[in-house]
Amino acid sequence: MTDTETPAPRPGLIARTFTMLWPHSLRAQVMGALALALLLAQGIGAALLYRAQHEYREEQVTHALAIKLVMASHDDFAPPPGPPPEDRAPDDQGAGKIGGKDGAKPTGPDRPQQDGERRFRHFHHGPPPEDVSRGPRTESVDHFALQAFDRPRPEMARRLSPMLTEQDVNPAGLIVCERPLAKDPMIQQRMERRAALMRRHINLPHPPPMEASRLLIAAVPRPGGGWLVSRVVVSPDDPWLPFTLIAQTLFIYLVLVGTMAVILRRIIRPLAALTAQVEQFAETRVATNQVAPQGPHDIRRLIAAQNAMEDRIIALINEKDVMLGAIGHDLKTPLAALRVRIECVEDDNERLRMAQTIEEITRSLDDILSLARVGRPSEPLETNELSALVASVVEDYEDMGEPVELDDMPRIVLPLRAVWVRRALQNLISNAVRYGTVAHVSLTREDDWAVVRIADQGPGIPESQIARMFEPFTRGEPSRNTHTGGAGLGLTLARAIADQHGGTLSLANQIGGDGGIVGLVAELRLPLGA
Amino acid sequence: MHNEDKTVNQTAMTQDSAPQRILLVDDEPGLREPLASYLERQGFTVSQAASAAEARAIMRESVPDLVLLDIMMPGEDGLSLCRHLTEARAIPTIFLTAKSEATDRIVGLEIGADDYVVKPFEPRELVARIRSVLRRSARGAVDPTQNEDFLFDAWRLDPLKRRLIDPEGAIVAISSVEFRLLMAFLEHPRQVLDRDRLLDMVQGREAHLFDRAVDNQVSRLRRKIEVDSRNPQVIQTVWGGGYMLAADVRRVPSGPA
């Protein structure tokens, strides 16, 4: 059992956490959605930007390489300015210094410039394009092979070869690779030269090597043997790019949040005020301080519509009250006339019965009028002593000669509307006397409740019928009330009154020792601190 | 004629040699006319008015001893006329009202009516109320007492609203008979009142029933105001047949409920 039960709370917990984190208010939801959308948009934008930038750089580098190679090869082949120096053996010292094991490596660094002049053939040609001129010069070497630290870039070779073909340079055997700047012999040589120059003229330390920069190298075999090698220095990607993007995103978000906060404020404030108004109206049915239409057009209309509806509801309620008041007045005056006229009836019994009938009509009329009024909070709660109230109702019945029994009652003081509670008690006791021959009334204090029980000794009510008894115009079985009147509103009204006081009214059959029903108990519970 | 009618007649006659004059103001002839003849049978002289204006015209001719006034009337309503009656002329007034809501009753009493009866009322009860108001007015005690509460033993009785308030400030419900009984005791504190005297002072509706039940009513009242109703301290039984309020009574201006 425990095994099957333990995992159960886990999804509950997750769901709870999710529910807890999920933004509930309009403001939080809008802000959240905004942040999410902005983040997504910025992400896509950043990715696109990064790709475009990358593409552009690759293109630039490829072009630079192409131009260098093309110009070098044109220089090389068109006017041969003397025997190429390739036949010169590569410098062993240099190879030992850098390349290490393989002395045949043509890329070995050289000793200072004066030697290099003979061994390397540098191509000088008119003013090269701006971006190319800065880079290292194209050189011609005997051999070229990829080093361990080189990273081949075949895709750039593919891009480069058509450009070369276009310029009549045979791209067969073209190699393009990427090499760490610091590992390239030519660059090293340049750096050293520059450092020496600086040491000589100004007393400055070594400039720091451009560790992060990359060198792109394109090598193409020369038709006559050997290789043409051109180099392009590629500066590293901007390391600040992501931070720039984040800062940009944050900035946009702040601006958006600022504007949205203003807009939301204009929406949410009238909405909150309207909510409070509706809540209050639902509770009190009094439109005391209606919110003036404000905020955006939609909200303005909503508020105006709500106000109009409240006014309409109030008008309807007032209309109903006026109508009921008129009915009450119109019926009660002739009833009063009738009540006066029957005083002329000589037969005491006859007169008594007439008076009782008039009283019944009056009671029903009062029930109808009261039921229509019971929800109105017009009367304030007043501190009352309940046992005296119960006693005074019971005493009225005693005076009428009805069989009502009253237990000793504790004094219970609680806030209530005496007129209404009296009416509820009257209805309950009337029912007990009418259907159950005797009413036994008791009052007790149970926890935070004052509990009035009215028990009778009648036939009770079938369990299935109990709920129905609270519906308006419902009465018990016809056989049981042939001699009595009443509109069937007594219990409906009594329950409405209990509700009005925050209490409850329930009916239950009383089961005797033999299992049969010995009576019905009506239980009216009123909260002590209503 | 019933027994009670005779008593009523006697009382009405003994207090004043001439029959007392009642002005009945109600716009509904169906009620006004039978009620007027009923009251005449009870020994009163009754003049009728169908509106506030008519009532004013009649009162210019002769001032009645008491006005029975319907609240809801076309034109000037009963409340307005009542304000005029009590302020300008100090004529005792009883309201006839179709409304039974407590607030309506209290409004009527607060603007100066001496009592109210809710339609449809029991004619005998109305007569009892009329006589009670006339008695009080004959003693000249109508106005000064209206706004004064009775204080006894930390209890407070507001005679206007018929509201009894216990030492804790809670309202204690009392019936009209209990109210009148308590008023009798409060107006005669520390005096022994025998059953006949009490009956005479409390006479209200269904006197024949009350007749047999003075003791019963006293015990009901005790149940509400005594700490231990089996050992009463406030309303004491005097050997030889009678009761006495064993408390000092003070009159104070009506405070907040």
pLDDT band at A184 (very low <50, low <70, confident <90, very high): confident
**For A23-75, what is each residue's pLDDT tens digit?**
778 888 888 888 888 888 888 888 888 888 888 888 888 888 888 888 887 76
Q: Is A379-527 a domain of CATH 3.40.50.300? A: no
The amino acid present at A185, given as its one-letter code, is P
Structure tokens at A473: 């115009």
Interval B114-123 mean pLDDT: 84
Q: Which percentage of chain B shows pLDDT scores above 70?
A: 79
Q: Which helix (H) or strand (E) holds A200?
A: helix A185-201
Q: Higher-confidence residue: B141 or A98?
A: B141
Structure tokens at A389: 């109230």
Q: Does A174 lie at the interface with B, CB-CB under 8 angstroms?
A: no
Other CB atoms within 10 Å distance of the CB of residue B109: 19
- Asked whether B204 and B128 are in contact (CB, 8 A), the reply is yes
Contact B28 A333 (CB under 8 A): yes
**Per-residue pLDDT at B97:** 81
Which of A335, A339, A385 shows the shortest C-beta gap to B171?
Answer: A385
- Say whether pLDDT at A470 is over 80: yes
CA distances from A430 to A139, A426, A436, B56 (A): 120, 6, 10, 44
pLDDT band at B211 (very low <50, low <70, confident <90, very high): low
Rounded CA separation A174/A158 (Å): 9
Q: Which chain B residues are Cβ-neighbours of A395 within 8 angstroms?
A: 175, 220
Interval B195-210 mean pLDDT: 66
Q: Which chain A residues are Cβ-neighbours of B34 within 8 angstroms?
A: 337, 340-341
Q: Which percentage of chain A shows pLDDT scores above 70?
A: 80
In this structure, of A77-86, A108-117, B114-123, the range with the lowest mean pLDDT score is A108-117
Q: Which chain A residues are Cβ-neighbours of B121 within 8 angstroms?
A: 336, 339
Q: Does B208 lie at the interface with A, CB-CB under 8 angstroms?
A: no
- Say whether pLDDT at B216 is over 80: yes
Contact A399 B206 (CB under 8 A): yes
Q: Does B175 lie at the interface with A, CB-CB under 8 angstroms?
A: yes
Interval B45-69 mean pLDDT: 90
Q: Which percentage of chain A shows pLDDT scores above 90?
A: 14
Find the DSSP H helices in A400-501. Answer: 418-436, 463-466, 490-500
Q: Which chain B residues are Cβ-neighbours of A343 within 8 angstroms?
A: 38, 123-124
Q: Does B172 lie at the interface with A, CB-CB under 8 angstroms?
A: yes
Q: Higher-confidence residue: A30 or A390?
A: A390
List the beta bridge partners of residue B95.
B69, B116
**For B132-160, what is each residue's pLDDT tens digit?**
888 877 765 544 445 688 898 889 998 87
Residues 66-105 of B with CB under 8 A from A: 72, 96, 98-103
For CATH 3.30.565.10, list the domain ranges present in chain A: 379-527
**Contacts with A93 (C-beta within 8 Å, 6 or more apart), sequence order:** A108, A111
> What is the bridge-based pairing of β-strands B21-25 and B66-70?
parallel
Q: Does A12 lie at the interface with B, CB-CB under 8 angstroms?
A: no
**Per-residue pLDDT at A390:** 94
Buried b / exposed e across A41-78, counting CB within 10 Å, b at 16+? Answer: ebeeebeeeeeeeeeeebeebbbbbbbbbbbbbebbee
- Label residue B41 exposed, middle or buried (CB < 10 Å: 0-12, 13-18, 19+): middle
| Single pTM value for the model | 0.57
Contact B173 A332 (CB under 8 A): no
In this structure, of A111-115, A152-156, A201-205, A446-450, the range with the lowest mean pLDDT score is A111-115
**Contacts with B174 (C-beta within 8 Å, 6 or more apart), sequence order:** A388, A392, B162, B164, B182, B221, B224
Interval A419-435 mean pLDDT: 89
CA distances from B111 to A185, B24, B53 (A): 116, 19, 19
Which of A334, A362, A384 shows the shortest C-beta gap to B30?
Answer: A334
CA-closest candidate to residue B93, choices B62, B122, B63, B50: B63
Q: Does A365 lie at the interface with B, CB-CB under 8 angstroms?
A: no
DSSP annotation of A417 reads: -
Q: Higher-confidence residue: A120 or B139?
A: B139
Q: What domains appear along chain B, each with residue ranges and CATH number?
A: 3-143 (3.40.50.2300), 147-253 (1.10.10.10)
pLDDT band at B112 (very low <50, low <70, confident <90, very high): confident
DSSP 3-state of B171: strand
Rounded CA separation B250/B155 (Å): 10
DSSP 3-state of B149: strand
**Distance to chain A for B90, nearest Cα, Å:** 27
Averaged pLDDT score across all residues of chain A:
78
pLDDT band at B91 (very low <50, low <70, confident <90, very high): confident
Contact A413 B168 (CB under 8 A): yes
Q: Which helix (H) or strand (E) holds A371?
A: helix A348-373
> CA A424, A426, A432, A435: dihedral to nearest 10 degrees?
-100
In this structure, of A52-61, A106-115, A510-519, B227-236, the range with the lowest mean pLDDT score is A106-115
**Per-residue pLDDT at B107:** 67
DSSP 3-state of B155: strand
DSSP 3-state of A190: helix
**Distance to chain A for B218, nearest Cα, Å:** 13
- Which chain B residue has its CA at the smallest distance from A331's CA? B98
DSSP annotation of B99 reads: -
Find the DSSP H helices in A213-347. Answer: 241-284, 297-341
In this structure, of A94-108, A268-282, B7-21, B27-41, the range with the lowest mean pLDDT score is A94-108
The amino acid present at A15, given as its one-letter code, is A
Q: In degrees rounded to 5, what are phi and psi of residue A146? A: -70, 140
**Per-residue pLDDT at B84:** 79
Q: In degrees rounded to 5, what are phi and psi of residue B30? A: -60, -30
Q: Does B3 lie at the interface with A, CB-CB under 8 angstroms?
A: no
Q: In degrees rounded to 5, what are phi and psi of residue A141? A: -130, 165
Interval A83-91 mean pLDDT: 44
- Say whether pLDDT at A175 is over 80: yes
Contact B98 A328 (CB under 8 A): yes
Contact A395 B121 (CB under 8 A): no
**Distance to chain B for A17, nearest Cα, Å:** 50
Averaged pLDDT score across all residues of chain B:
79
- Label residue B212 exposed, middle or buried (CB < 10 Å: 0-12, 13-18, 19+): exposed
- Label residue B52 exposed, middle or buried (CB < 10 Å: 0-12, 13-18, 19+): buried
Which of A325, A337, A373 shows the shortest C-beta gap to B34?
Answer: A337
Contact B174 A392 (CB under 8 A): yes
| Bond before B120 cis per omega within 30 degrees | yes
DSSP 3-state of A424: helix
Other CB atoms within 10 Å distance of the CB of residue A145: 14
**Per-residue pLDDT at A203:** 62
**Per-residue pLDDT at B255:** 63
Rounded CA separation B248/A175 (Å): 125
List the beta bridge partners of residue B46.
B22
**Per-residue pLDDT at A50:** 82
Q: Does B228 lie at the interface with A, CB-CB under 8 angstroms?
A: no
**Per-residue pLDDT at A96:** 38
CA-closest candidate to residue B209, choices A352, A238, A528: A352
Contact B102 A379 (CB under 8 A): yes
The amino acid present at B114, given as its one-letter code, is D
pLDDT band at B36 (very low <50, low <70, confident <90, very high): very high
DSSP annotation of A293 reads: P
For A234, what's the count of Cα atoms within 13 Å in the CB-facing half-sphere?
Answer: 23
- Say whether pLDDT at A106 is over 50: no
- Which chain A residue has its CA at the smallest distance from B176's CA? A392
Contact A391 B173 (CB under 8 A): yes
CA distances from A223 to A120, A172, A226 (A): 18, 10, 8
Contact B123 A362 (CB under 8 A): no
Largest CA distance in chain B: 58
Which of A332, A378, A383 shows the shortest C-beta gap to B169?
Answer: A383
Which of B35, B173, B257 shows the shortest C-beta gap to A392?
Answer: B173
**A/B interface, count of CB pairs below 8 Å:** 98
Q: Does A355 lie at the interface with B, CB-CB under 8 angstroms?
A: yes
CA-closest candidate to residue B51, choices B69, B31, B33, B63: B69
Contact A334 B31 (CB under 8 A): yes
Which of A332, A343, A399 shows the shortest C-beta gap to B119?
Answer: A332
Q: Does A388 lie at the interface with B, CB-CB under 8 angstroms?
A: yes
**Per-residue pLDDT at A119:** 40
Q: Does B31 lie at the interface with A, CB-CB under 8 angstroms?
A: yes
- Helix H, strand E, coil C: the string for A166-188 is HCCCCCCCCEEEEEEHHHCHHHH
Q: Is the ipTM, as predicted for this complex, more than 0.90? A: no
Interval A167-186 mean pLDDT: 82
Q: Does A337 lie at the interface with B, CB-CB under 8 angstroms?
A: yes
Q: Higher-confidence residue: A211 or A228?
A: A228
- Which chain B residue has its CA at the smallest distance from A335's CA? B120
> CA A336, A337, A340, A343: dihedral to nearest 10 degrees?
-120
Rounded CA separation B129/B116 (Å): 9
CA-closest candidate to residue A174, choices A224, A222, A221, A223: A221
Q: In degrees rounded to 5, what are phi and psi of residue A298? A: -60, -50
- Which chain A residue has its CA at the smallest distance from B35's CA? A340
Interval A220-245 mean pLDDT: 79
- Say whether pLDDT at B2 is over 80: no
Find the DSSP H helices in A6-145. Answer: 9-21, 26-77, 92-97, 113-119, 130-133
Q: Is A82 left (phi over 0), alpha (psi -120 to 50) or beta?
A: left
- Say whether pLDDT at A262 is over 80: yes
Rounded CA separation A344/A357 (Å): 16
> Read out DSSP for A138-163?
PEEES-----TT-EE-HHHHHHHHHH
